[in-house]
Amino acid sequence: MKPVKDLLKINLFDTKTRALQPLVSSDGKSLRIYGCGPTVYRDAHVGNMRTFLLSDIIIRLAKNLGYEIRFIQNITDVGHMSEDFVEDKILAQAKAESKDPYEIARIYEARFHADLKLLNITPADNYPKASECIDLMHDLINKLIKKDNAYVGSDNCVYFSAQSFPGYGAISGNRLDSLKPGHRFEYSEDGAKRFHADWALWKAAENRTQMIWNSPWGKGFPGWHVECS
């Protein structure tokens, strides 16, 4: 009779196929897992912690089945815009608390780790901070531009070209022909974007003076999505 571990397997819901699919290791013994981390401008709420708990359950089960796990979770400490897209959430909180934005980020990052410990959630092997990976983002954006998957808009922001990627939307289930214009703040009929579903990889600083970096496209800061890349 086979050991219990040989009979067990992890099935995850695949949003592309809309069905449960077995989790398969490329080498049969290890799993590399990335989990989107917190935006550290306030304390995490129960909905945030649910996300981190789900990845913890998968990691614990995989370890119990004998897999070697490498788990990375990012810290978003720049570039997460507020709901009205006017101001970075960390900059807004820094203004509200009369603190330096990096101080705000480190305060709430520490509280996040304390909350993980209270909930007995397994910590990641590494927590790269977005603000410390700007050069890597520049390299990635440059590669996308060279492959014609991204372009510099007339506003000096760099946008990902959704139409340049044939499989765009396959995982989320969104189709480009069904996405309506005007639902993203960067778009207008006479705006800098070529297509309404394109999104910012790098945003021009304009009047912003904090949390900005030099780049091949001028001073600015990363778009939210590229930070997880």
- Whether 4-131 shares its CATH topology with 133-228 is answered yes
CATH class of the 4-131 domain in this structure = alpha beta
Position 2 scores a pLDDT of: 47
User: What pLDDT is recorded for position 173?
Assistant: 79
Task: Look at residue 218 in the predicted model and tell me its pLDDT.
Answer: 95
Q: Which residues of the chain have pLDDT under 50?
A: 1-4, 7, 82-84, 186-189
Domain 133-228: give its CATH architecture.
3-Layer(aba) Sandwich (3.40)
- Measured distance CA(114)–CA(63) in Å, rounded: 23
Domain limits, the chain: 4-131, 133-228
Q: CA–CA distance from 13 to each of 56, 73, 170, 189, 194 (Å)?
A: 16, 21, 14, 38, 34
Torsion of CA 41, 157, 173, 175, to 10 degrees: 150
Per-residue pLDDT of 144-201, as tens digits, reads 999 999 999 999 999 999 999 888 888 887 777 766 665 555 444 456 888 888 989 9
pLDDT of amino acid 187 = 47
